[in-house]
Structure 1
Amino acid sequence: MNKFRVRLTMIFVLIIGSSVLVAGLFMAKKMQDSYIDSLQANMKRELQVMLATLDWKQDGTAADMARHYTELAVRLKQSADTRVTFIGSDGTVIADSDHSPAEMVNHADREEIIQAKQNGIGYAKRYSSTLNQNMLYAAIPVKEAGSSAAYLRLAMSLEEVEQAIRRVWYGLLAGLLAVFVLAGLVSYRVAYGFTRPIELITRVAQQITDMNYKYRVSLSSNKDEIGQLGQAINQMADSLQLQMERISEDENRLKSVLENMISGVVMIDRDGRIALLNRSAEELLGFAAQELLRKKFDQAKQQFEFMQLIQECIDTKEHIRDEVIFYYPTERILEINLNPIWQNNDVWAGVLIVLHDITAVRRLERMRSEFVANVSHELKTPIAAVKGFAETLLAGALNDKDTARSFLQIIFDESDRLNRLIGDILELSKIESKRIPLQFSPVHLQTFIGDCLHVMEAEARKKSIELTMHVPGEVYMEADEDRLRQILMNLLSNGINYTPEGGKVKIKVEQVASGAEGEEYDKVRLHISDTGIGIPKKDLPRIFERFYRVDKARSRSSGGTGLGLSIVKHLVELHKGTIRVESEVGVGTKFMIELPLIQA
């Protein structure tokens, strides 16, 4: 914009300067012509006066004639202050006031003589080699008997005229210089006033091009065309800023939705390149977005079945849904929905892929099937026993009192087992559905655990199992006393059942701080350990599943339903706690429960 301003200033200066220069040249030329015309008129009058008053001598010798006319020329010069020359009709110089005629050439071809012969008077301007200066000549014929007998010529120096014209030129140049300076200043000011608003508008337009929509054109006047243009630019910037803010809000909203979706979203463009990948898709596929974006989908190091589905959707341009087992980064089952993308309903633009992790769903379906199968099996066993022994009694075994009593005892035990099974199933169902409100109250752990061990002493005594506890006397915690007792009784019962005779079952309590060392205790950790048969390492991840038994024969013989540890895990989680297990086959098992001292 500065270059444009300079060019515009130069144009203005050149226009003004050229106008002044042309005007000055015209004035100087007119002044010179006027001065010359005035000199010519004066010289004409002087020649006519001389011609009328002089006594022209035509007889005598040539020497006399030369002397006479020389003296006359000198006198005329003194009175007229001009050079006077007498020229014969043939062009021979008769006399001259400044030079000897003998030294002067024939003047018949001089312009002023030719004009005087033709027009009665002649003028000429030329450089005089005799006087070494520019001269103005005027000549008039001397008539004798109707013909020109001689010519009278006056010559005046143009040095004064040239000096006057030179002064005019000097003044013109000084004025022109002043005009140039003044024109430059005025032109720059005019150009600045013209280009400054355009510069501001251009700068704002450049900022808008650079996606900075906060800049505005600030003009003092909005009435002229430039002001209206600036106002239009501001209105355009307001509109663009509003639209970009809306687009940015929509983009952020869409980005937030994509980033927080549980489902993975992948977009393949029309060239087969991965154009979009959200966070869930990164986690499901095991690759970061920067590793996959702008790559061809068949170069993305993905599972072969997945690549086949994408290629099939590109080829058929139809919706495809399938389930694929992925083994990286972890084994999981993904539901894959591939939808072709169309622009303007007729231009194919790529493929949108939605990934759902249905591993948990399929696991729950499998667990539900296993649960139904296990419940059916567990219910069928005691029912079959009751039915079988009842049929035996009905068939005549009632007559044998010992046999009948034995069969009735079995029927009673199986019915009791069936009752416990149904109770545990209902209890687990209520716990899982969060339909049991917990009543939190302060619990003194030493007294509470002592009571629990006292209840289990009779059962432990049958197998000569030693029950011990290490509980600080000052430890209190908030818990639902009935549910906490249910947790401990289940774990103590399991420890007694799976510990050989003469073994030990121990409970240890310690306080822990979840934060940095030196903070107040905010949790309590319970260790329930035994010296039982232990649990194989391969079974540890599943022992909290419903109906899962490590030793099925041993579990049934001990009267277990396979739901105890599942109930324990859910009750611990309802107390906002955690439970984990450590075990070694033949050495024993230890359950560790962490519970908050105070419930939120």
Structure 2
Amino acid sequence: MTKFRLKLTVLFVLLIGFSVLAAGLLMGNSYQRNHQDALRNHMIRELHVLNAATPWPEDGDEDKLSSYLEEEAKRFKEIAGMRVTYIRLDGKVMGDSDHEPATMDNHIAREEVRQALAEGTGSSVRHSDTLGENMMYVALKVSGEQGGEPKGIIRLSMSLGDIERSLNNMWLALIFGLCLLFVVAAVVSYRVALSVTRPLERMTSAAKRMANMDYAIRVPEAGRDEMSELARALNAMAGSLQGQLDEIRHNGTRLQGVLDNMMSGVVMIAHDGKITLFSRQAEQLLGGTARERVGRSYTEIKQHYELTGLIREGLTSLVTLHDELTVYYPEERLLEINIVPMTMSGEEEPGLLLVMQDVSAIRKLERMRSEFVANVSHELKTPVAAVKGFAETLLAGAINDPETARSFLTIIQDESDRLNRLIGDILELSKIESRRSPLQFSPIELPSFLGRMTELLSAEAARKDIELDVRTEEGLFLEADEDRLGQIVMNLMQNGINYTPEGGRVKVRAFVVASENEEEEFVRITVSDTGIGIPKKDIPRIFERFYRVDKARSRSSGGTGLGLSIVKHLTELHHGTIRVESTVGVGSQFILELPLIQP
């Protein structure tokens, strides 16, 4: 823009300079021409006055005529201050105010003489070698004293030095004025160019920043000229673009937030197979990052051969596909895949939209539900079948045998109790899982609490000669739901008694431990026994519903298979954790950790 401003300034200066120079040249030439014309006319009038005052003598002696004319020429020069020359019609000089006629050349070839002979008057301007300056010559053809035929030519000459000096002074003034005008014109032109180019510079700068998506820029728009109108239009366009860009960014942020927080993975693939979108959930389901995947072909997802085959089929057939695939990277998952053809922005050929959902947990829950129904049916069927069978036997006549009838009725009663416990545990587990019975937290003194648990189980432990060893820190309190905590500890201690041979020992310990960052405190309650132990392969499933390590022994002990599952759920409701450590043939240890103060 600076170059444009300079060019505009130079153009203005040249236009003004050429205009002034042309006007000066025209004025100078006009001044010179008018001055010479005025001088010529004056000299012609002087010639007429001279001729009237001293007419050309009639024919006579040539020497006397020459002397007479020479004296008259000198006398007139003293009066008028101009050189006077008398010339005969054949060009011979008869008298001159400045030189001897005899020494002068014939003047018949002089321009003014020839013109005077032809027209009556003549004039010319030429350089005088004698005087060394330009002279004006004016000639007049005259007659004798009595009139009649022309007798000769009278010529006046005058130096143009004064005129030329005047012209030179004018040219000097003109040049000085022109230079001064150039300077003034340059300053004025620069200011004019600046007033024109500065708004253009601002608009150009603003347009460049808009091209770089900076729409906050504004151009000063004061005034009512065309530049101000253009600036207002540019500002209005910038404001409109800024609003649209903000809306696009807002929508993009919302869309990105939706994609980032969706539980489903989303992948967009162009018609040429290049990945254009790879959501955060897709990163977790398929591995890799969006930076690694976007812009590259889907065939580079080499860890998922079945998925790439399904994508290839979708790009080829362009039909909606639905399938469930098991992927093993970054971890084993069951994915529900939906592939939908769609035309993407700026593309003519359709690509693919992949929506992936991790259904591993859903399928696991469905499997657990099926297993739960099957286990419940099986667990209910066993006591019901026993009750039904013994009842039928009694009705068939065994009731008449008192000893047999008592034995069968005892079995029916035991199976009914077992059935009642099973139904109670199922209902209890259902209430806990659905959280229909909220916990009532209160401070619990663990020493007295564990003492009551020991009293309740002491008779059962005594029947098997099992020692109950319960120890805890004095004055230890825990914030928990007393009834639910009683269920947890009772279940763990009963399991220890049930699976410990006669003469064994069940040990309970309670003490305070700190978290890894030492910001929280927990109460750790351990219940260990010297029982049969749990095989290592069964430990991960020990807290599942109806899972039994030794099914025959569990049923003979009267267990329902739901106790540890209830313990697990109640522990989680207390924001705690439980785990088990066990060695077959040595014993097991259940480690329960609960917050000292509930969050």
TM-score, length-scaled by structure 1 = 0.91
Instruction: Report the equivalent of 2:242.
Output: 241
Residue 349 of structure 1: CA displacement? 3.6
Q: 1:472: Cα distance to partner?
A: 0.8
The Cα shift of 1:272 comes to: 2.3
Q: 1:499-532 deviations in whole A, cap 9, x for unaligned?
A: 3344332222222334744x5x643222222233
With over 3 angstroms needed to count, the CA separation of the structure-2 counterparts of 1:346 and 1:207, relative to structure 1, is closer
Determine the structure 1 residue equivalent to 2:392.
391
1:238 & 1:13 partners in 2: Cα distance?
40
- Contact (CA 8 Å) 1:197, 1:219: kept in 2 or not? no
Q: Deviations over 1:167-187 (max 9, x none)?
A: 111111222222223333333
Match of 2:214 in 1: 212
Q: Which amino acid aligns with 1:53?
A: A
Specify whether residues 81 and 582 from structure 1 end up closer, same or farther in structure 2 by C-alpha distance, changes over 3 A only: farther
Shift, 1:277, TM fit: 1.6
* Partners of 2:536 and 2:95 in 1: CA distance: 152
User: Displacement of 1:433 after TM fit?
Assistant: 0.9
**Which residue in 2 is equivalent to 1:541?**
540
Distance 1:173 1:345, change over 3 A: closer
- What amino acid maps onto 1:291 in structure 2? E
Q: Distance in 2 between matches of 1:80 and 1:310?
A: 121
3-state SS of paired residue (1:393): helix
Report the Cα distance in structure 1 between the residues aligned to 2:535 and 2:74, rounded to whole angstroms.
155
Q: SS of the residue aligned with 1:228?
A: helix
Partner of 1:135: 135
Q: Residues of 2 paired with 1:352 and 1:592: CA distance?
A: 48
Counterpart in 1 of 2:111?
111
Q: Equivalents in 1 of 2:371, 2:53: separation in Å?
A: 158
1:199-598, aligned counterparts within 5 Å?
199-221=201-223, 223-342=224-343, 347-514=348-515, 516-517=517-518, 522-598=521-597
Q: What are the Cα deviations for residues 59-88 of structure 1, in whole angstroms up to 9, with x where unaligned?
A: 5467x7766655554444433333334444
**Using the alignment, how far apart are the partners of 1:320 and 1:165 within structure 2?**
102
Deviation at 1:325, TM superposition (A): 0.7
Deviates more, 1:547-556 or 1:349-358: 547-556
Q: Which residue of 1 aligns with 2:161?
A: 159
Structure 1 window deviating more from structure 2 (397-406 vs 430-439): it is 397-406
CA contact (8 A) 1:530 1:590 kept: yes
Query: Structure 1: how far apart are the matches of 2:528 and 2:143?
Result: 164
Deviation at 1:485, TM superposition (A): 0.7
Instruction: Confirm or deny: 8 A CA contact 2:215 2:238 kept in the other structure.
Output: yes
Q: Contact between 1:514 and 1:523, CA under 8 Å: does it hold in 2?
A: yes
Partners of 2:303 and 2:384 lie apart in 1 by 53
Of residues 331-340 and 121-130 in structure 1, the stretch that sits farther from structure 2 once superposed is 121-130
Code of the residue aligned with 1:135 in structure 2: it is: M
Which residue of the partner structure matches residue 170 of structure 2?
168
**1:376 positional shift:** 1.6
Map of 2:192 onto structure 1? 190
Structure 1 alignment gaps of length 5 or more:
none
Q: CA deviation at 1:318?
A: 1.9
Deviation of residue 219 (structure 1)? 3.2
Q: CA RMSD in A?
A: 2.8
Residues 181-204 of structure 1 deviation map (CA, whole Å, 9 limit, x = unaligned): 333333333333344444444444
Could you tell me which residue of structure 2 aligns to residue 122 of structure 1? 122
- Give the superposition deviation at 1:348: 4.1
Deviation at 1:55, TM superposition (A): 6.0
Unaligned segments of structure 2, at least 5 residues: none
The amino acid that maps onto 1:490 is: N
- In structure 2, relative to structure 1, the CA distance for the partners of 1:85 and 1:393 (3 Å cut) is same
CA deviations 1:5-49 (Å, max 9, x no partner) are: 333333333333333222222222221111111111122122223
CA distance in 1, matches of 2:92, 2:543: 151
Q: What's the CA shift for 1:459?
A: 2.6
Whether contact under 8 Å (2:321, 2:339) holds in the other structure is yes
Q: Residue by residue, what CA displacement relative to the aligned partner does 1:320-379 show, whole Å, maximum 9, x if unpaired?
A: 111111111010011111111136999544211111111100001111111111112222
Equivalent residue number for residue 33 of structure 1: 33
Worse-superposed segment, 499-508 or 360-369: 499-508
Give the SS at the match of 2:558: coil
Q: How far did 1:473 drift?
A: 1.1
Q: Distance in 1 between matches of 2:423 and 2:34?
A: 139
Matches within 5 A, 1:75-94: 75-93=75-93
2:6 aligned residue: 6
Change over 3 Å in CA distance of 1:343–1:146 after alignment to 2: farther
Q: Distance in 1 between matches of 2:247 and 2:540?
A: 51
Instruction: State the match for 1:51 in structure 2.
Output: 51
Change (3 A) 1:383 1:531: same
Contact 2:336/2:359 (8 A) holds in 1 = yes
2-structure distance, mates of 1:413, 1:18: 129
Once residues 536 and 592 of structure 1 are traced to their aligned partners in structure 2, the CA distance between those partners, rounded to angstroms, is 17
TM-score, normalised by the number of residues in structure 2:
0.91
Q: Classify 1:172/1:286 alpha carbon distance in 2 versus 1 (closer, same or farther; 3 Å).
A: same
Contact 2:344–2:351 (CA<8 Å) still a contact in 1?
Answer: no
CA 1:260–1:101: 2 relative to 1, 3 Å: farther
- 1:445 positional shift: 0.4
Task: Write the letter of the residue equivalent to 1:567.
Answer: I
2:112 corresponds to which letter in structure 1?
Answer: E
CA contact (8 A) 1:340 1:348 kept: no
Secondary structure at the aligned position of 2:285 is classed as helix
In structure 1, distance between residues paired with 2:310 and 2:563 = 45
Question: Which amino acid is the alignment partner of residue 284 of structure 1?
Answer: L
| Letter in structure 2 aligned against 1:81 | G
Cα 1:302/1:161, change in 2 over 3 Å: farther
Q: Tell me which moved more, 268-277 or 345-354.
A: 345-354
Once the two structures are superposed, residues 195-251 of structure 1 have per-residue CA deviations (whole angstroms, 9 ceiling, x without a partner) of 444444444444433323333333333x33333333333333333333222222222
Change (3 A) 1:112 1:564: same
Identity of matched residues, %: 55
1:16 matched to which residue of 2? 16
| Cα distance change on mapping 1:154 and 1:486 into 2, 3 Å | same
Q: Tell me if structure 1 keeps the 8 A contact 2:139–2:153.
A: yes
